[in-house]
Structure 1
Amino acid sequence: MAEAIVSRVLEKLSSVLEEEVRHISNVRGELEKLASNFQAIKAVLEDAERQQLEKEKASVRDWLYKLKEVSYDIENVLDEWSTAIFKSKLEKKKVCSFIPSPSLCFNRGKLLLKTTHKILELNGRLDVIANERERYGLKELSVEKPIRREQTTSLVNLAEVCGRVKDKERIVDILLNEGRIGELRSTLHMISIVGVGGIGKTTLAQLAFNDEKVKSHFDNRIWVCVSDPFDEMRIAKAILTSLDKDAGQNLVELEGVFQCLGNLIKGKKFLLVLDDVWTEQYGRWDRLKLLLSSGSLGSKILVTTRKENVAKIMGCTTLCPVEQLSEEEGWSLFSKIVFFERSDSENLREIGRKIAGKCKGLPLALKTMGGLMLLKKTVKEWQSVLDSEIWELEVAEEGLFHPLMFSYYDLPSHLRQCFSYCAIFPKDYVIEKSKLIELWMAQGFLKGTKHRDMETVGEDYFNDLSMHSFFQDFEKDENGGIIKCKMHDIVHDFAQFLTRGECLTVEAGSGSSIEGFNESARHVMLRIPYDSDECPTCIYDAKDLHTLLVDSAGVGEYNVDLLKLFDKLKCLRMLKCQSERINKCPKQIRNLIHLRSLDLSDNFFLEKLSEAVCDLYNLLILDISGCEKLRSLPCRMGNLINLWHLRNWDTDCVEFMPKGMEKLTCLRTLSEFVVRSGGKGAALSELGNLIHLRGELEIRGLRNVRDKREAEKAQLRNKKGLTTLTLNIGSTSFDKSQVSEAFVLVLEALEPPLDLEMLGIWAYNCPTTTLGVWPSWIMSLTKLKFFVLGSCVNVEQLPPLWKLPSLESLLLTQIEGMKKVGVEFLGIETSSLSPSSSSASVVAFPNLNSLQFCEMKEWEEWDYGSRGEEDIKIMPRLSSLVIFGCEKLKMLPDSILRSTTLQNLKICRSSIISSRCQGEYQPHISRIPKVEFVEF
C-alpha cells in the first residue's frame, strides 16, 4: 500500500505546484524538495514491498511503516491547504469584486505561514527516510523481479485428494465430447479451470489428465506449466519435447520450432494442459493457438488460471469455476494428513475439526495446517493454534500465503490498495459493491478521467479484483450484474497480513478499551454489541483514523460523544455512526475538513443537522436516509458543490429543500426533492441544473406547483440516468377548480426520460370535468417494468396501460371513484370487439407478471365485455394476482379463471370473491399451485 499512498501524494504535490503556489517561491521550493524525495523513494518501493515479506527484513518493514506515516501526514497538509484555498475562493465570490476583503488576505497569509512550517518539519522527516533506503540496499527494479513459482507436473498424489469427484467427472465429460452441433472442424475447443490460489485447480487438471478414459481417447497428452512470464518459445519447445524428445533440440528460432511442431500435431487428436496461465496479452497466445488449430477435430486445450480475464482472452468457450471443499471433504483431507497412522485422543480430533473448519474448504490451507499440526503433540498446543488468527502463524507466511502473493503482485498498485482495504471488514461479511466503491472514493483511491467518472473507475477495479478471484459468493441482479459478494476467510486473512493492523475490525466489549485495537490504525470497523451502552473511549484516541464505521447490532442504544469524536478524529475521510442517542449533529463537525463521506442513516431521533455540515467542502456522500425526525436540511447546502450522493429517503418531516440546490451540479443521487408553497425553499425548477441525476428520485409536494413552466424547467426528460421516478402530489384537498387548468399541465410537463423502468404516481386528483385525464407521456414509456398508482381521487377511468410492452408489475391501491375496470382499461372500445374486428392480434399486458388491487373500496366490477376475452389475449404471462381490501368486488373475469399461467392467488378482506373462490370458482382455481385466503 505504500506505493499507492506515495503516488497519491505525488499527484497532489503536482497539482499544488502547478495551480496554487507557482508564484510563492519559499513554499514552492519546499514542495519541490518533497516531490524530489518522493520520486527517488518511489523508484525503489517495489523492491521494498517485496523484501518486507521476508522474515529477516523486519527493518525494511519498519522503513515502509515510517514512509507511510509521513506520507499520510503530507497528504493531510496538502488537503488542508487545498481546502482552505477552495473555501477562500468560494467566499470571495460572495464578496463584490470591487470591495477589498482584508480578512481573506490575512487568513490566506496566516495559512501560508502555518503550512510552510509543517512542510519544513515533514521535509526533515522525509530526508531521513530517503537516506535510509541506501542502508537497506533498496534498488530500482528495471525488470520486474519475479516471485519464485514452483513448476507443476502431471503427476498427482491420489492419497492427498478428497472430494472433486463430480468436478473431475464434469471435466472428463467435456474432454471426451467430440464436438457440438454446428461446431466448425477447425475450431479448437478450449476449457478453463478458474479459481483462487490454493483452491485445487492444478489437482483437478491432474485428475482429469490421468483419467484412464482420457488417456485412451487422445493420441497425445501434453502438460506444460506456463506461469509468468508467458514465454512463447519455451511453451512451444515444451510441447515439442513432449511429442518427440529428440525433435527441435538444435532449433533456436521460433519459426523452426513452429514448423516442426506443426508437422507433429497435424491430424493428431491431442490434449494440451496449460497450467497456471497469467498473461492477459492476446498477442502472446494468438500465434501458438493458430498453430495448434491444425490438430484433429476433438483436440482439447485445458487451461488453469486464477484470472477469468485470461480464460476469456485465450478464447476458452467453457469455464469451470472451482468451489471450496465441503466441510466433510475438508475434514477428510485434514485428518488424512494429521491422523495417518497416529492414534490420538478424541479431544485432539474435536479441536482438529475446528481447525479444519477455519480453512473454509481451501485445500492448500488444509494441507498447510495439517502439516503444522503433525508437529504438535499436546491439547494445549492444538488449542493455541485454534485460538490464533491464521495470518499470525509463521506457517501462513511461509506456505499458505505464498501462492496468494502471486495474485497480489500481479495487481498494479492502485488495485493492491483497494484489495488490502477490504481487511476492514470482518470475516464472512457481505460486501455491497456500491458501498465498497464509495469507501474507495472517500479514501481517494479512485481517480476519474474526462470520459469515466470515479464510480465507473471503481466498477472496473471491482471487476478486476473479481476476475483475479479475490471475491466470491456473488449475489447478482436480474441483469447479471454483481451487487454483493464475500471474501474467502483465507483471502481475508491474507489482506489482514498485508495491512498489519492498518485496516481492521474490532469488537467493542464492556470496558473502555478494545482487545486488539491499535491506536495507529487508519481504517476501523467498530462492532458494538446490542447490549453495550457505551462507545469505547479508546476510539477517540485514534487520531490518525481515516475510516470509522460504527456497526451496531440492532438499533444501537450506546452513547457516542460526537463532540469528542469531532474534536479528536480530524483526519477522518469516512464516518458512519448510528445510535438512538444521537438527536443532533453539533457544529464541531466542521473540524472534519478531510471528510468525504458522512453516513448518519437510520439515526431515528436526529432532529437537526448543523449548518457546519456545509463547511465540509470535500464531502462527496451524505447519507441521512431513515432519519425520520429530521426537520430540515441546512440552509447552505449549496456550498457542497462537490457532493455526488445525497441519500435522504424516509425523511418525511423535511418539508422543503433549501434554496441553492441547483448549485449541486455534481449530484448523481438525490432520493427525495420536496416542494413547498409560499416561495420557501428551493423551487422545482432547481432540478434542471442537476443533469447527472440517476437511479431513484421522488418528488414530494407537487400540489404546490401551479406553473407548468416551473415543471418544464426541471427537465426530467433529459435526466437519462433516472430509472425510478415517484411523483407524489400530496394532499388532494386543494381547490378542484384549479386542477384541470393548472395541475394537469404541470403533470404533463413532468415528462420523465423514455428509458424509465419504474413509475409511481401518488395522490393524483383527476379533474371532475374531464374524467380520466392522464399525462400523454405514460404511453411512451416502452421500457417501463413497474407501475404504481395510489391514493388517487375522482378516478373513474384508468390509462390504457395495456399498451406498455415491458410492464411486468402493476399495483393499483386506494383509488377513490373507481367502480369498474372494463374494456377501457385495455384501451379498446366496445365497438371494436365485433366479430369483424381486426383486434384478434391484440395482446393486452403482454409481459405482466404481477397484478395487485389494494384497498379499492368502491370497486364493484371487473369485466371486459361479452366478446372481449375471445378476441384479444389478456395477460398471457400473469403469474401472481393479489386482491386486498376490495369488499364490493363481485366477480373475477373469465380470463383470470381460465389462466394457465397463474401460480399465486391471494385474496384478503374481499369477502365476496373469497366466497366464490371457495365455491363456484373452485374448479377453476384448483389448478393454481398457491391459493391463499386471509380475512382480518
Structure 2
Amino acid sequence: MKSTIGVVWLRLFTSEIRLLALSLAFIHHPLMADALLSIVLTRLASVVGQQIRDELTLVLGVEAEIQSLTDTLRSVRDVLEDAERRQVKEKSVQGWLERLKDMAYQMDDVVDEWSTAILQLQIKGAESASMSKKVSSCIPSPCFCLKQVASRRDIALKVKSIKQQLDVIASQRSQFNFISSLSEEPQRFITTSQLDIPEVYGRDMDKNTILGHLLGETCQETKSGPYIISIVGTGGMGKTTLAQLAYNHPEVKAHFDERIWVCVSDPFDPIRIFREIVEILQGESPNLHSLEALQQKIQTCIAGKKFLIVLDDVWTENHQLWGQLKSTLNCGGVGSRILATTRKESVVKMVGTTYTHSLEELSQEQARALFHQIAFFEKSREKVEELKEIGEKIADKCKGLPLAIKTLGNLMRLKNNKEEWENVLNSEVWQLDEFERDICPALLLSYYDLPPAIKRCFSFCAVFPKDSVIKIDELIRLWMAQNYLNSDASKEMEMVGREYFEYLAARSFFQDFEKDGDDDIIRCKMHDIVHDFAQFLTKNECFIMNVENAEEGRTKTSFQKIRHATLIGQQRYPNFVSTYKMKNLHTLLLKFTFSSTSDEALPNLFQHLTCLRALNLARNPLIMELPKAVGKLIHLKYLSLSDCHKLRELPETICDLYNLQTLNISRCFSLVELPQAMGKLINLRHLQNCGALDLKGLPKGIARLNSLQTLEEFVVSSDGDAECKIGDLRNLNNLRGELEIRGLRKVEDAREVQKAELKNKIHIHHLTLVFDLKDGTKGVAEALHPHPNLKSLCIWGYGDIEWHDWMMRSSLTQLKNLELSHCSGCRCLPPLGELPVLEKLKIKDMESVKHIGGEFLGSSSTIAFPNLKKLTFHNMKEWEKWEIKEEEEERSIMPCLSYLEIQKCPKLEGLPDHVLHWTPLQEFHHKF
C-alpha cells in the first residue's frame, strides 16, 4: 500500500503498534489516555516518521474537533430565529439557511458515526471480557484496531471538511446583520382538550342547507346516477369540517344504508380510493389488486342500497379518472348521494355537480366572536377589556378564515402583555406580497412563536402525505430517531415528545383528534393548509415522491439535499433507482397501494442509504427475510416491519444496530424467532411485537435491555437457557403501556413467577395473562399479582376451579376495563361489583358457570358496580340463572349501566327485574 496510513497497517504487528492498539482501546479512560497517547506518538515518530505522526494526531484529535464544530454551530444557531423570519422575503437569507441546515445534517451524521464507533468499541470490549477473565482478552485484536484506526481517520477527514464549510457560513453571518436571540423551552399551558370550541362556528345555515340536500328535503332525485353535492371554498374555510358534521349527523346515519368517507387528495389514485371504499364496506382490507376486481366488489356491496359517499379534497380534473369512479357508483339505490369537497371551481364542473354550495368567509361579527372565545379563554375581565380592541383588529386581519382565526386565537391565549398583542397586530407578516400570498400569515406568526426544538418537530411532519392519519406514538418515535427531543435524566424522551405534540396541537397545527379511553390523543391529521406550510418550510429537505414519476416529482431539488422522503406508488415491484441517489436520507417511509420488493431491491437500498435514522417497510406482503445488509445502517434508530405477514426471520446483523430505539414487528405472523444477540441492542426502548403469534419465545438477552419501555407480548419459554423465562421480566421495570404474557402454561414453579416482580411494573396500565386452559394455575396466577393502579386486565384460559386471591379481594382499585375469557374451570365469578371504578366488563366462554348470584356483586360496599357502564356476556353455554335477591336489591346496583349485551347463552332463563327496570339502560342487545 502506498498511502501513509497503509504503512501503519503493515506495521500493526510490531510492539509499537500493539501499544497503539491498547491506546485506542482505552483512549476514553481518563487515567490512561494522555500517558499512552504520548508514549505511542513518540515511538511512532521514530519508527514511521513525522508524516504518520501528523496523520495519527488528526485521527486521535477527532473529539476536540467535534467539540469545536458544536461550539461553532451553536453560535450560528443564535441568529436562526431572525434568519427564519427574513427568509420569506430575502432569497439570499433563504440560501444561507439552506446551507446551514445542510451542514447541520452533515455534522449530525459524523457525530453519530463517531459515537457509534465508540459504542461498538465498548460492546466489543464487554463481549471479550465476558468470554475470558484474562486482562489480555480485553485488548482488541490488531485486526479490530486496524478498523478503528481507519474509521477514526475517515471521521477525522469528514470533520475537517465540515469545519471548513461551517467556518465560511459562520463568517457570512455578519453580512446579514442578524439579531441574536435566546432559545426558549416550551411553556406549560392549557391544552385543546380543556377548551370547548364548536366544530363548525357560524355555519348553522350552511349545515342546514347541506343536510336538506342529503336527506332529499330540498332536491329532485336524478335518474342518471347519484345526486352530487359539492362544497367549494378556499383552503382553511372549513369545508371538510362542514362535511364531517353532516356525515355524522344522527338523521344522516339513519337515512342511508351505507356511509363511506374517502380522502381523495392529490394525486387521484383510483386503486387506493377503491380499496378504501371496499375496506369500509366490508370492514376489512380486500385481497384484491386489480382495478376491475375492486370495481366489481364495490358494485356487489352497494347494489340497490341507498348510500352516501364523501369524497374529501378532490383536485383532479381528469374526466377519465372521475368517470371510472362515477360509473362504479351508478348501481346504488334511489336517494344515494355523493358529497365532494374541493378548492377548485373546475372540479365542480368536472364531477357533474347537481348542487354547488360555496362556502364563504365568516362575517366580521362571527370572526371576532370566534377569536374572542379562544384568545380570551380564562382571562380576567380586566385583561379582556384591556386587550379587546387589539383582539378585534387581529381577528379582522384573518379575513373570515376559520383556520386562521383558530390558529391566532390559540397563539394569543398565553400572551397577557399588551405589547405582545401589539407586536402580532403590527407584524410585517401581514404585508406579504404577491409572491408569498399562498403562505397563511396566521400560521407563519404561530410558527415564529414556537421554540426551535418544536419548530423542527413540526416541519418534519411534511414527510407525511396529505390526509395521512398520524399515530402519535409513532410520530414521537420518529422525532426521537432524528434527535429532535431535548431530554435530560429527569424526563424521558417520550414524555418530552408528548409535550411537544400537545404544544403543537393546542396551536392548531394538528386536528381531527382521536382519543383513547383515558382521553389521551392517539391519532390525528394535519389540515391541508398546515401541510402545505410545512412543505414550504422544508421544500428541499422533506420529499414525497411517486416512484413511477421520480424524475418529474423531483423538480429542481438535488437528490443529495433530501433528508426525509416518502415513496408512494402502485407498482408490484417498484423501481428504487432514483432513491439510491438520495444517499443522505435520514428518513424513508414506503407507502405503496400494494407493495412488494424484489430480492435485490432491499439489499441495494441498504447499500446506498447508509445515513438512515428511520425506515418504514410496513405492509409489504412479499418480504420473507430481511437482508443481512441491514447491519450497514449503523445510524438506524427506527425500523418498522409491521404487517409483513410472510417475514420468517431477522438476520443476526440486525443486532449490530446499536443505536436502534424502535423495532416494530407487529402482526408479522410468520416470524418464528428473534436473533439471539438481541441483548446488544442496548438503546432499544420499544419492541412492538403485538400479533407476532408464531414467536415461540424471546432471546435471553432481552432481559438485559433495561431501557425497554414497550414490549407488547412477553412469550414465556421453558426450552433451555437461550430464551426468556417468566422470571426474566424482573429487571424490566421501565415497561409501560400494554403487556401481554403468553405461554403461562409452560410455567411449573410459582417461585419462578415471583421473580418477575409484576407488582413493581407500575407503568403497565393494560395487562393480559394467557394461561392456555391449563389446570393447576392458581399458584402461578397468585404470583402474578399486578400493581393496584392497573387500568385494564384480560385473563384468558385460567384453568382452576377457584379464583386466585387478588381477584377475590378485588384489590385493583383503579381498574376500568376487565375481560374474563375461556376460564372454563371456574364455576362462579369473583366479587367484581366491589371494583370502584370499573366501567366495562366482558365475560365470555365460561363453560362451567351455571348460576350468577350475590357473589358477583360482592358484599363489602353499599353500591355494587358503582361505575359500570357496559356489560357483555358471550357464549356462556351452561349459564341458566342470573339472580339478584330481594335483600340485595336494597343496595344500589349498577346505577350507571347504559349498555347490556347477552349473546349465545341458550340456557339462560331470563334477566333480573332490577337490571331491566332499575338501571339507566339505553341499549340492550340479546340473542340467547
Pick the TM interval, shorter chain.
0.5 to 0.7
Give the distance between the partners of 1:857 and 1:515, measured in 2 at CA.
Answer: 63
Q: Secondary structure at 1:780's aligned position in 2?
A: coil
Give 1:200 deviation, angstroms: 8.3
Aligned to 1:717: 759
Instruction: Work out whether 1:903 is the aligned partner of 2:922.
Output: yes
Distance 1:695 1:26, change over 3 A: closer
Aligned pair partner of 1:547 in 575, 582, 587: 587
Alignment-derived partner of residue 60 in structure 1: 93
TM-superposed deviation, 1:714: 1.0
Greater radius of gyration (CA): 1
Mean Cα deviation higher: 414-423 or 90-99:
90-99
Q: 2:135 aligns with which of 94, 98, 114?
A: 98
Cα deviation per residue 1:711-746 (whole Å; 9 max; x = unaligned)?
1221111111111100101252xxx5xx2xxx3222
Alignment partners' CA distance in 2, 1:143 and 1:700: 51
1:566 aligns to what? 606
Q: Which residue of 1 aligns with 2:489?
A: 450
Gaps of 5+ in 1: 1-15, 145-161, 168-194, 212-224, 227-235, 240-268, 280-302, 317-367, 372-392, 829-838, 911-936
C-alpha contact 2:703 2:728 (8 A) present in aligned 1? yes
Aligned position for 1:695: 737
Contact 2:808 2:831 in 1 (8 A): no
8 Å contact kept, 1:572–1:595: yes
Q: Name the aligned partner's letter for residue 61 of structure 1.
A: Q
Q: Which amino acid aligns with 1:48?
A: A
Identify which of 413, 424, 428 aligns with 1:311: 413
Contact 1:275 1:304 (C-alpha < 8 Å) held by counterparts = no
Q: Is 1:825 matched with 2:856?
A: yes
Shift of 1:83: 0.6
1:580 aligned to which of 618, 621, 637: 621
TM alignment of 1:61-100, pairs within 5 A: 61-96=94-129, 98-99=135-136, 100=139
- Counterpart contact for 2:866–2:893, Cα < 8 Å: yes
Tell me if structure 2 keeps the 8 A contact 1:307–1:467.
no
Aligned CA distance change for structure 1 residues 309 and 552 (closer, same or farther; 3 Å): same
Gaps of 5+ in 2: 1-26, 38-56, 184-199, 206-234, 239-359, 377-381, 395-404, 419-429
Task: Using the TM superposition, give the Cα deviation of residue 514 of structure 1 relative to its aligned residue in structure 2, in angstroms.
Answer: 4.9
Q: Helix, strand or coil for the counterpart of 2:822?
A: strand
Residue equivalent to 1:675: 716
Correspondent of 1:464 among 494, 503, 517: 503
**1:538-574 CA distances to partner (integer Å, 9 max, x unpaired)?**
2232111111111233x53465821111111111111
2:862 alignment counterpart: 842
TM-score, normalised relative to structure 1: 0.65
Residues 778 and 803, structure 2, Cα contact 8 Å, conserved in 1: no
Does the C-alpha gap of structure 1 residues 712 and 809 become closer, same or farther in structure 2, counting only changes over 3 Å?
same
Alpha-carbon contact 2:202-2:366 (below 8 Å) kept: no
Q: Aligned equivalents of 1:632 and 1:510: distance in 2? A: 39
Distance between the aligned counterparts of 1:688 and 1:143, measured in 2?
45
CA deviation map 1:832-866 (0-9, x unaligned): xxxxxxx9x8332222222222222222222234x
Q: CA 1:804/1:532 → structure 2, altered by over 3 Å: closer, same or farther?
A: same
CA pair 399-819 structure 1, distance change in 2 beyond 3 A: closer
Q: Amino acid of the residue matched to residue 714 of structure 1?
A: A
CA contact (8 A) 1:522 1:546 kept: yes
AA paired with 1:690? Answer: L
The corresponding residue for 1:750 is 784
Q: 1:874 aligns with which of 890, 893, 897?
A: 893
- The match for 1:730 among 769, 772, 788 is 772
- Per-residue CA distance 1:597-629 (angstroms, 9 max, x = gap): 101101111110111111111111111001011
Secondary structure of the corresponding residue to residue 650 of structure 1: coil
- Pick closer, same or farther for the CA change 1:411–1:433 going to 2, 3 Å: same
Counterpart Cα distance in 1 of 2:438 and 2:906: 70
Corresponding residue to 2:160 among 112, 120, 131: 120
State how 1:130-529 maps to structure 2 within 5 Å: 130-134=170-174, 136-141=175-180, 164=202, 203-204=364-365, 273-276=388-391, 306=408, 308=410, 310-311=412-413, 314=416, 395=434, 397-398=436-437, 400-509=439-548, 514=553, 516=555, 519=559, 520-529=561-570
Gap change, CA 1:129 and 1:871, over 3 Å in 2 = closer
Match of 1:707 in 2: 749
CA distance in 2, matches of 1:729, 1:887: 27
8 Å CA contact retained: 1:202, 1:275: no
Partner SS for 1:689: coil
* 1:766 alignment partner, one of 775, 800, 812: 800
Q: Give 1:140 deviation, angstroms.
A: 4.5
Three-state SS of the structure 2 residue aligned to 1:92 is helix
> RMSD across aligned C-alpha pairs, in angstroms?
4.0
Deviations 1:682-728 (CA, angstroms, capped at 9, x unpaired): 12111111111111100001121222222122111111111110010
User: Are 2:877 and 1:857 aligned?
Assistant: yes
Q: What residue is the counterpart of 1:660 in the other structure?
A: 701
Cα deviation, residue 634, structure 1: 1.2
Confirm or deny: 8 A CA contact 1:443 1:573 kept in the other structure: yes
Q: Which amino acid aligns with 2:69?
A: L
**Number of the residue aligned with 2:817:** 786
TM-score by length of 2: 0.66
Q: Does 1:804 align with 2:919?
A: no
Shift of 1:401: 3.8
3-state DSSP of counterpart to 2:524: strand
Q: Distance in 1 between matches of 2:121 and 2:237?
A: 52
User: How far apart are the structure 2 equivalents of 1:407 and 1:197?
Assistant: 18
Amino acid at match of 1:699: I
CA deviation string 1:227-259 (max 9, x = no partner): xxxxxxxxx9xx9xxxxxxxxxxxxxxxxxxxx
State how far apart, in whole Å, the 2-side matches of 1:270 and 1:113 are.
66
Distance 2:522 2:393 in 1: 27
Letter paired with 1:758: S
Q: Which segment drifts farther, 608-617 or 31-40?
A: 31-40
Deviation digits for residues 851-884 of structure 1 (CA, Å, limit 9, x no counterpart): 222222222222234x355333332322222222
Q: Which moved more, 1:537-546 or 1:116-125?
A: 116-125
Of 808-817 and 569-578, more deviation after overlay is shown by: 808-817
Change (3 A) 1:679 1:44: same
CA-to-partner distance for each residue in 1:395-444, whole Å, 9 max, x for gaps? 35157444433222222221221121121122233323222222211110
Tell me, in whole angstroms, the C-alpha distance in 2 between the residues paired with 1:513 and 1:583.
32
How far does the alpha carbon of each residue in 1:431-462 deviate from its partner, in whole angstroms, 9 at most, with x for none? 23222222211110002112111111112212
- Tell me, yes or no, if the aligned pair for 1:197 and 1:306 is still in contact at 8 Å: no
CA distance in 2, matches of 1:116, 1:772: 65
Residue 29 (structure 1) shift: 5.2
CA distance in 1, matches of 2:552, 2:407: 45
SS for the counterpart of 1:792 is coil
SS in 1 for 2:512: strand
- Alignment partner of 1:51 is 2:71: no
Distance 2:112 2:520 in 1: 35
- Secondary structure, in 3 states, of the residue corresponding to 2:772? coil
Counterpart CA distance in 1 for 2:874 and 2:880 is: 13
Q: How much identity, in percent, do the aligned residues show?
A: 39
Cα deviations by residue, 1:272-316 (Å, 9 ceiling, x for unpaired): 61425999xxxxxxxxxxxxxxxxxxxxxxx99825375367499
Kept in 1, the 8 Å contact 2:613–2:635? The answer is yes
> Aligned partners of 1:860 and 1:28: how far apart in 2?
76
| Equivalent residue for 1:648, pick from 665, 679, 689 | 689
In the alignment, residue 869 of structure 2 is paired with which amino acid? N
Query: In 1, Cα distance between the equivalents of 2:160 and 2:530?
Result: 41
Q: Distance in 2 between matches of 1:637 and 1:776?
A: 36
Conserved? CA contact 1:526–1:548, under 8 Å = yes
Shift of 1:533: 4.1
